[in-house]
Structure 1
Amino acid sequence: MTATTMNVICPLWRRWIALVYDLVAVLAIVMVVGLICQLATGGRLITAGAQVHIAWWYQPLQGIVVATYFVLSWLRGGQTLGMRSWRIRVTAGDGDPLSLRQAMIRVLVASLPLLLLLLAPAFGLNVALWTLAAGWIVWLLAAQFVPRRRTVYDLAAGTEIRRIG
């Protein structure tokens, strides 16, 4: 790849739209994994009685599957489905492809706001979800104020998003 095909830092609006595309892909992945798990457990994955109970392994499995989607996408060409559609690519700071270490750091730091869901028992699910949304917005809005438009997880992993083509 020549320097001229990938030398432009991606504008934030393009990143946000690609993220929306990826959210649709993640929803589809989560639904398919949920269906497979429901079929594998004979419909006992989620039980409802006096209280709803979800199998202890289900949410960690979903997290692993979603993280794997992002890590593999970044390692195999630097693009998720949304990034491919909007012609952007994640690279190391020097323009090289991501290492496994960078991809893992990126996905782990990007998912840190999920810990805010632990607020749900104390404050309710509604508060926890709004707090989660605020956490991710802060993670993304950092790109508005730092050089080369890097988010918190880009800074942690030493990566950046570039426009291609």
Structure 2
Amino acid sequence: MTQATAPSPLAPDLTAPSLKRRMACWLYEGMLLFGVVFIAGYLFSTLTQTRHALDNRHAQQAFLFVVFGIYFTWFWAKGQTLAMKTWHIRVVDTQGRPLTQARALARYVLSWLWLLPPLGLTYALGLSGRDLAVLFPGWVIFYALLSRLHKQRQFLHDALAGTRLVQQLPPVRPKK
């Protein structure tokens, strides 16, 4: 007769947050990135003396890609971005350990799966911005729902990068 053992209090809780909470965190992250884009865009425009928004736009897009890469790689290697702290979510490797810089960078590159398919389709088919406004939300919903097919409820880019999002519930404070 075997006895079920309780999880060790020292073992990390690898329970995935609900999809609703992860998507709320995703939206909040997007709002916080507005500040990063504003500061990085201002810095780029100042350093390159860009006077018109369409001048140097490909260089600015590349610059923002690098800035986002630094932002996410830095915070994910520490476990959480500000939005993730707010929503009590942490990113770890599949064993529950903190991410290395290399794994965080791999997750960043693979996380572009959120954006590239609708952008690539819009470009390849010569669709308009109005078409993208329909494709993008549809893709995001589809991509998010794909996580329900993964046995640990993780997003595709997390499964490919060897990472996972887990709950990081705040410690219980003793009553006074």
TM-score, length basis structure 2: 0.78
Q: Please, which of 122, 127, 141 is the counterpart of residue 123 of structure 1?
A: 127
Q: CA deviation at 1:92?
A: 0.7
More strand by share: 1
Partner Cα distance (2:133, 2:112) in 1: 14
Return the alpha-carbon distance in structure 2 between the equivalents of residues 87 and 79 of structure 1.
9
Query: C-alpha deviations, 1:83-128, integer Å up to 9, x for none?
Result: 1111110111110111233222221121133253242481112223
In the other structure, the counterpart of 2:90 is 89
- Is 1:21 the counterpart of 2:28? The answer is yes
Q: Distance in 2 between matches of 1:135 and 1:108?
A: 18
Task: Name the amino acid aligned to 2:38.
Answer: M
Unaligned runs of 5+ in 1: 48-52
CA offsets 1:58-79 (integer angstroms, 9 cap, x no match)? 1111111112211111102x11
- In structure 1, the residue matched to 2:160 is 156
Give me the identity figure in percent: 24
Specify every segment of 5 or more residues in structure 2 that has no aligned partner in the other structure, as ranges.
1-8, 170-176
Structure 2 counterpart of 1:3: 11
Counterpart CA distance in 2 for 1:88 and 1:2 is 18
Superposition RMSD on alpha carbons, in Å?
Answer: 2.2
Give the CA deviation at 1:14.
Answer: 1.4
Report if aligned partners of 2:50, 2:56 keep a CA contact under 8 Å in 1. no
Q: Which moved more, 1:32-41 or 1:155-164?
A: 32-41
**Residue 57 of structure 1: aligned partner:** 59
Shift of 1:25: 1.4
Which residue pairs with 2:174 in the alignment? none
Q: CA deviation at 1:17?
A: 1.4
Shift of 1:43: 4.1
Residues 143, 150 of structure 1: 8 Å contact kept:
yes
**Structural mapping, 1:129-140, within 5 Å:** 129-140=133-144
Count of aligned residue pairs for this structure pair: 158
CA distance in 2, matches of 1:94, 1:154: 13
Structure 2: distance between partners of 1:129 and 1:161? 28
Structure 2 Cα separation of the partners of residues 147 and 115 of structure 1: 24
TM-score w.r.t. the length of structure 1 is 0.83
